[in-house]
A and B are shown apart, each in its own frame.
Chain A
Amino acid sequence: MLIEVEDRLLVLIHAAGHFYALDDVCTHDGGPLSDGPVDGQDGTIACPRHGAKFDVSSGAAKTMPATKPTVAHEVKVDGDQVLVRLNEE
């Protein structure tokens, strides 16, 4: 799910009972990860352009052609709200 937090676009992922938030950008080609499929079993989201996979919890690049991680943000669930703390790295 695409969300906007303080002038920044993030993809909010619900997988295997947990919520995760990543920058909505593939570090290979700048593609929007929010348009890509999530694999709950291996905990990855794939870029729809060239198939690069990123770890949903750490943002680490898991497969080519991406080699650099995308930014992962801290997520907390508080009742019926999902809270995101931006990682400003």
Chain B
Amino acid sequence: MSSTLAPAGFSQETFDAFLAARDEPGWLNDLRASAWARFNELSLPTNKDEEWMRTDIRLFKLGRYSPASELSEIESPRALLAEGVDLGGSCSSVDGLSVESELSAELADRGIVFGSFDKVISEHGDLLRPYIERKLVDPHYDKFSALNAAMFSGGTVLYVPKKTRVEQPLHSLSTMTDGGVDLTKTLVILEEGAEATLLSETASTSTEAGGLHCGSIELIVEKDARLRYVNLQNWGSGVWHFAHQMGHVAQSAGLQWTIGALGSRLAKVNQHVALTGKDAEAQVNGVMFTQGKQHLCYNTHQHHQAEFCTSDLLYKAALQDVSRTVWRGMIKVDEGAQRTNAYQRNDNLMLATTARADSIPGLEIEADDVRCTHGSTSGRVDDQQLFYAMTRGYTRQEAVRMIVTGFFQQVFDRITIESVREALGEAIGQRVRDL
């Protein structure tokens, strides 16, 4: 367990001590103070709010958690996404406190900035200021976005200058101790014509660990830039996970965003992609596997703000035990976003009759010359497929595992990074039990 600021909880004293312990520019302190005021005004969401109707957080007690003030000495969990990958840089944090940041000298010489938020803000505050002030994630949206905006620490910043191509992937790992707090923020900025790949993952110190993650992700992909971003959530089974994630994709730019959601007790994530310039493209891939009493809720939003843009979302989930997933997807097309091509699909494989998947796709279209489609399927493992595999010599569990892997293959095929495919495949394979 990490040591904490006194007193416990998220009190005014906690916030004052947090600010006092940091040496940050005045403009950032002002942003934090404004968000903190909003945090204190807001109540926790309730299941009377439309967005939270299917996600019950009445057992969540915010006052039980406090941000860490000192680094815990722990054995870092295995970084699944980095295995066998030639990385250009990596950074890590424990309970939102930065541990290390590394960037190859060759990339640093080309003007690339990468590392933990705390380190980068002290060295490149003026560079980051306009991007932070854009507030892609609205600090006033709800109590969780306000808390993150007020007290974010650790996390990852990646800045790639104009027309700079980063071939080697970069990697970040956020670790949380049992009962700890992680308030990390990820900010990625790709200037015009830049290209990069960021592999980001979260993990607890044990598979049963508890804690609170209240995070944010902001991806800024400027004109003609290309970003591949992978985010693997692999917290312990007692973690409350709340996150706001937003990507802005400018003219002729491309974003491939892959999420893997495996861990946590309860997750509530708002993942938004806005296509802000003509001919922008976004591909969103989601892989979810739930077990035990897990509850994972993902609200996705594909917002077409400009004409001739394409977005393609595919979320696949497999559920066992009494776990539950909720996916609410929305394609929003603004009036001027003619010739939009948007798709969203959610497939659920039910591995137990006691599991439950809620799949709620939606369209809100104000333009009159668009192609917007959506689909959703939920079903059980086909007994005939199981029988056939067993007649070929596979055990029942091997057959189930093979069918589950096949179910996810469609989304794996879209993931172009081998280590990500292997990490997700391995993690899911370990979790599948006999039916």
Contact = CB atoms under 8 A, between A and B. Distances in A.
A80 interface: no
A75 interface: no
B56 A7 contact: no
A30 B58 CA distance: 13
B59 A30 contact: no
Contacts of B58: 2, 9, 32
Most B CB contacts (10 A, CB to CB) among A4, A8, A25, A31 go to: A31
Interface string A1-33: 010100111000000000000000100011110
A56 B144 CA distance: 36
Contacts of B165: none
Contacts, number: 19
B421 interface: no
B47 A32 contact: yes
Contacts of A2: 58
Nearest to A49: B53
Interface in B34-78: 47, 53-54, 56, 58-59
Interface of A is mostly: loop
Nearest to A25: B56
A31 to B, nearest CB: 7
B53 A9 contact: no
B145 to A, nearest CB: 24
Contacts of B59: 4, 7-9
A30 B47 CA distance: 9
Contacts of B56: 9, 25, 30, 32
A31 B423 CA distance: 36
Contacts of B47: 30-32
Contacts of B54: 29-30
Interface of A: 2, 4, 7-9, 25, 29-32
Closest 6 CB pairs of A and B: A30-B54, A9-B58, A7-B59, A32-B47, A9-B59, A30-B56
